[in-house]
Structure 1
Amino acid sequence: MKLIDLLKGIRVIDIDGPTDIDISKVVDDSRNALKNSLFVAIDGFSVDGHKYISEAIDNGASAIVISKELYEIGNISNEDRVTMISVENTRRALARIASRFYNKPSEKMELIGVTGTNGKTSITYYVEAIFKEYGKKVGIIGSIGNLIDGELKRTKNTTPEPLEIQEIFNSMADAEINLCVMEASSHALDLGRVDYCQFDVGVFTNLTTDHLDYHKNFDNYYNAKIKLFYKTQKCNIINIDDRYGRRIFNEVKNLKTQLLTYGLDSSADIFASNIVYSAQGVRYTLNTPKGKITIVTNTPGEFTVYNTLAAAACGYIYEIDLQTIKQGIESIKGIKGRFEVIPVDRDFTVIIDFAHTPEGLENALKTIKQFATGRIIVLFGGGGDRDRSKRPKMGEIAAKNSDVCIVTSDNPRSEDPKRIIDEILVGVHKVRNDFISIIDRKEAIRYALDNSMANDVILLAGKGHETYTLIEDTILPFDERKIVYDILNEEH
C-alpha cells in the first residue's frame, strides 16, 4: 500500500521526504522493522519509541511517524532519505493507519464492545456461547486472551494496542469470523486504541473504583467509559441498576443508536425475576419484550445474573430466539478465574476469582455467604504501581465479610510488597485486629490450605486467570491452580 494512502484523513503537521512509496509492513516496535516498513514511534508509559527511530531505520524502515520535534529526538541520520511524518498524536495516528493497512477489517464482522469495571470477561464468553449456539463463528478480544476460531492466544493488555487490534481483526476476517466481542478498557478508550473500530453494539456493566492511578479522578474514569457509546451504530445496552449506567442512559438516550436496558427490576427492557441462588448456581426467569424463559447457570451469585442478562440482551438485539439464548448461557460450565471452583477432592472448597477491586471482592464474598456452611477464608493483596486508594477499602471489605483474613502479595511490580500490605491493613484494622499477613503468596496459600476445616470456603482473590506474578521487571510463573494441587499433593 502507498504511504500517501495510509496517511489519508490524518492531520499531518509536516512531511520530509516522498510519500509515493510502497509500505509492506506497519510496526510500532523498532525491532520488527523491515525493508519498506513504516515505523510509528509511540510515547508509551515506560518506553518512548522516539528513542528507537535510528534502530528502525537501520532495520530497513523507509518511513517514520513521529510526534516530537526532530531536535528532541536527537541526531538522526537521514542519508537514506527516510520519509519523516510529524503528527500531533502518533498513537491515534497509528489506529487510523493500522485500520487502513488491513483494509478496515472490523467492518467485515459485527463488533460488540463491553466496558465497565466488573463483569466484562464473563459477558464476552456468555455472548460467544450464545452466538456459537446460533451457528455463528465468534471471536473474543479480552483479558484472558484473544479467541480466534477456537484458538486462544494470550495478550498483554485487556484491550491491545491499535496495531495489534487491527491485526487481530484481520486474522478474524481471514478466518471468516461473523462476530467479535471485545472488552473495551478505560485505558483503551481514553488512549484511542479502539479508534477506527466499527462498533455495532456497546454494553455497559457497572462503574466502581479502579484505575485511578491512571485516570486521577472518577470523572475522568467515567468520561473514558462513555466514549464507547458514541462509537456504536446498532445498539447500546446499559445496566440500568447501576447509578452510572443511569447517567450514561440519560446522556446517550437522544442518539440515533437504539438503547436497551437490563437489570433486576421490571422497568428494564431485559430483566430477571424469580431469582433463586444456591451453591450450585442461579436459577431465574429471563424476561424480554418478546417473551420469557427459565435460565439455570452453574456459577452462583448476583453478578452472574447481571452478566447473563447483558449477554442475553446482545442475543435479543440480534433477534436470536430465547431457546438458543438459554442453551448458549447454560453451556458455560465456568470461566477461568471468574469465581472458578477448583476440584480439590477435600471437605473444603477452593475458589479462584479475579476480584481486584473493592466492589469485586465484596461481590465475591457476599456470594460465598449465600451458601457457605463453614468459615469463609479470604486471601488477597493489592497490585503494585496501581490505584493505592483501593487498598484500605479492600482490607475493610475483606475483614467485614470473612472469618479468616489473609493479606498477601499480588503483582507488586516495582513497589515494596510489605508497604502494599501495610496500606491494606489500614482498612483491616478498622474492623478487627485478628488477621494473617504473609508476603510470599505461595506460602499464604499453603497457610490457608493447611488451616482449613470441614465445610470452609477459601477464596483466592486477585489473580484469577493469570498464570504469572510481576515482581519489579520480572515475570515469574505463578499458576494458583497448580500451586493449590502441588501443596495438597505434598500431604501424600
Structure 2
Amino acid sequence: MLASKLIESLKFKKVEPASYGDFEVSAVTQDTREVSQNSVFIAIVGSQIDGHTLVAEAVKKGAAMIIAQKKVDCDNVPVVYVENTNRAMAILSDCFYDSPSKAMRMIGVTGTNGKTTVTHIIEEIFREQGEKTGLIGTMYRRIGDKIFPTKNTTPDIITLQRTLSKMHKQDVSSVAMEVSSIALVQGRVWGIDFDIAVFTNLTRDHLDYHKTMANYAHAKSLLFSQLGNEYGFKKNSKVAILNIDDPMGRKLEEDTSAPVLTYGIKHEAMIKASNVVIHSQGTDFDLSVFDQKQHLKVKMVGLFNVYNILASFAAAYAAGLDPSKIISVLSSFKGVKGRLQLIPSSSGVSAIVDYSHTPDGLLNALETINDFAKGKVFCIIGCGGDRDHGKRPKMAQIALQYSDYPIFTSDNPRSEDPQKIVDDMLQGISQNSSVKVIIDRRKAIEYAINKAQSGDIVLIAGKGHEDYQIIKGKKNHFDDVEEAERAFKKRGAV
C-alpha cells in the first residue's frame, strides 16, 4: 500500500513537509524492534516509554514516515501530526491490513470470569460445523490448529489486526476472542467489527488499573456501546448476549442499541438452565430455549460452567446454528486446560488445577468442589504481585471459609516480596486459624498431596494454564499440573 493511500485514512492531520516522495509501505508499527526499510513508525505515549523519543532510532532503522502527536525532529522523513497517535494507530492498522474483521464472523467475549472457557467452547462449536476457526485470548492465539504465543489477553491493535489478516488469508470464517477491560479502555479493539458481543459476569478484578468498580464496569460496557447502531435485515446483524442474572447484564441492556439475547439460571431469560445437578463427572440440567426444553448432560463441573455453556450456546444460536448441533458439541466438550482440570491418582486423592485468581473465581471453584467432595478440601492459594492489594484478604477469607485446609503460598510475586503478599492475605485472620503458610509453591503442593487422604480433594488455585512463575522480574518455568503429577509420583500414587 502506498503511504499516500494509507494516510488518507486519517481524516484530520498535518503533514510536514506537505509534499514528499511516495513509497510502498512495508510495515506499520509502534515498536522500533519491528521497524524495517520503508516502515511507518507510530510514536505512542506509553506508561513507561514515550515513542517520540525513539523517532531517531526508527529513522535510522529505515522508517520512511513518522506519525506523531508531539513535535519531533527528523531530517528528510515526512511527519504526519495527529491529535492522538493511539487512535491513529487503530485507523492505520485497520487500513493497512484491509479491515480483516469485516470479512469474518467476530465474536467478542468480555467479563471478569469465564472468557477463556466461553471462547474455547464457541470455537469448538463452529469447528465441529466444519468451519475453520480462530481464537484469541489469555492462553494463546490459534489459527485452525496452529498456536501462537500471546502476551496479553487482548493483543495490541497492530498485532490484533495482523493476526486477523492472517486468519482471513487462511480462510478462517469465525473468530472467538477474549476482550479485556484494559484493552477496551486503551482502544486495543478500536476498528474491530464485532458481530456478537458476550457478557459473562462482573466481579472484583483489575482495580490496580481501573481504581474503582464503577470504572471497571464502564470499561466492560464499551464493547456493547460500540457494537453498532444500525438496524436492518442484514445476514450478520449485531447481537448482544447478556447474563441477566448479573446486575451488570441488566445495565448493559441500556448501553447497547443491538438486539439483546439473554441467558441465566435465577431470572427469566430467553435461554435458561434449570434443575441443575452437579456431580464429580459433570453437570446435568434442563436447557430452555424460548420455552423449548431439552435435558443436557455435560462433562464440565459446576454452576459457573453452566453459565459458560449458556453463553456459548447463545453465541452460536445468535449466529444461526442449529440448536441440536450446538447441544451435541456441548455434550462432548471436556473443558479447558487449567479450568477445574482434574488430576486423579491411585491413592484416591484428586488434585484440581484452576485459574481462580479473583475472589469470585475462587468462591465458584470451592463451592463447586464442595458440592461433590466426599472427603476434606485442601485449598492452595496465593495472590499476584504488583496487582490489586484489596482482593488479597478477600481471597484468604474465602479459602478459610470454604476449605478444610487452606494453604497460603506464592503465586506470581513479580517484583513484590512473596511473604509481604501473604501477610496482606493474613490481615484479619486469627493466629489460631487453620491456615498454613508455605511460601514455596512446589513445597505447598507436595505438602497438601502428601497430607490428603482417600476421598480428599486438593484445589491448586490461581495460575491454571500458566506454565511459569514471575519472581523478581524473572520468568521461571512452573506448571501446577506438572507439580501435582510430580507430587503424586513421589507419593507413589500415580
SS at match of 2:52: helix
* CA distance in 2 between partners of 1:128 and 1:16 (Å): 46
SS at match of 1:475: strand
Give 1:315 deviation, angstroms: 1.5
Residues 213-233 of structure 1 deviation map (CA, whole Å, 9 limit, x = unaligned): 111111111111001012224
State the partner residue of 2:243.
Answer: 239
* CA distance in 1 between partners of 2:116 and 2:425 (Å): 26
State the partner residue of 1:273.
Answer: 274
CA contact (8 A) 1:129 1:331 kept: no
1:358 equivalent to 2:353? Answer no
State the partner residue of 2:155.
Answer: 160
Moved more, 284-293 or 261-270: 284-293
Residues 378-433 of structure 1 deviation map (CA, whole Å, 9 limit, x = unaligned): 01111111111111111111111011111111111111111111111115449x62
1:137 equivalent to 2:132? Answer yes
- Number of equivalences: 481
Moved more, 305-314 or 86-95: 86-95
SS at match of 1:43: coil
* CA distance in 1 between partners of 2:6 and 2:430 (Å): 58
CA contact (8 A) 1:395 1:427 kept: no
State the partner residue of 1:62.
Answer: 64
SS at match of 1:482: helix
CA contact (8 A) 1:398 1:428 kept: no
Q: Match of 1:479, as an amino acid?
A: D
SS at match of 1:350: strand
State the partner residue of 1:16.
Answer: 16
State the partner residue of 1:73.
Answer: none
* CA distance in 1 between partners of 2:105 and 2:99 (Å): 13
Q: How does 1:56-455 map to 2 (within 5 A)?
A: 56-70=58-72, 76=73, 78-79=74-75, 81-233=76-228, 234-252=238-256, 255=257, 257-265=258-266, 267-289=268-290, 291-429=292-430, 433-455=433-455
CA contact (8 A) 1:380 1:408 kept: yes
* CA distance in 2 between partners of 1:403 and 1:266 (Å): 33
Identity over aligned residues, as a percent?
A: 42
Give 1:449 deviation, angstroms: 1.5
Judging changes above 3 Å, is the alpha-carbon distance between structure 1 residues 346 and 59 closer, same or farther for their aligned structure 2 residues?
Answer: farther
CA contact (8 A) 1:293 1:323 kept: no
Match of 2:54 among 32, 52, 55: 52
Moved more, 236-245 or 322-331: 322-331
Q: Match of 1:51, as an amino acid?
A: T
Judging changes above 3 Å, is the alpha-carbon distance between structure 1 residues 176 and 429 closer, same or farther for their aligned structure 2 residues?
Answer: farther
SS at match of 1:96: helix
* CA distance in 1 between partners of 2:193 and 2:434 (Å): 52
CA contact (8 A) 1:122 1:335 kept: yes
CA contact (8 A) 1:133 1:327 kept: no
Give 1:19 deviation, angstroms: 7.3
* CA distance in 1 between partners of 2:370 and 2:349 (Å): 15
State the partner residue of 2:485.
Answer: 485
Give 1:175 deviation, angstroms: 1.1
What TM-score, normalized by structure 1, do the two folds share? Answer: 0.94
SS at match of 1:285: strand
* CA distance in 2 between partners of 1:347 and 1:146 (Å): 36
Moved more, 52-61 or 352-361: 52-61
Mind listing any 5+ residue stretches in structure 1 that lack a counterpart? 71-75
State the partner residue of 1:459.
Answer: 459
* CA distance in 1 between partners of 2:154 and 2:170 (Å): 20
CA contact (8 A) 1:42 1:50 kept: yes
* CA distance in 1 between partners of 2:11 and 2:460 (Å): 49
Judging changes above 3 Å, is the alpha-carbon distance between structure 1 residues 130 and 292 closer, same or farther for their aligned structure 2 residues?
Answer: farther
SS at match of 1:455: coil
Give 1:3 deviation, angstroms: 2.1
Instruction: Give every structure 1 segment of 4 or more consecutive aligned residues whose post-TM-superposition deviation is greater than 4 Å.
Output: none
Moved more, 338-347 or 177-186: 338-347
* CA distance in 1 between partners of 2:130 and 2:286 (Å): 24
Judging changes above 3 Å, is the alpha-carbon distance between structure 1 residues 473 and 47 closer, same or farther for their aligned structure 2 residues?
Answer: farther
Residues 125-182 of structure 1 deviation map (CA, whole Å, 9 limit, x = unaligned): 1111211222222211110111111112220000000001001101110111111011
What TM-score, normalized by structure 2, do the two folds share? Answer: 0.94
Q: Match of 1:313, as an amino acid?
A: A
* CA distance in 2 between partners of 1:465 and 1:328 (Å): 23
* CA distance in 1 between partners of 2:414 and 2:21 (Å): 43
Give 1:12 deviation, angstroms: 4.5
SS at match of 2:153: coil
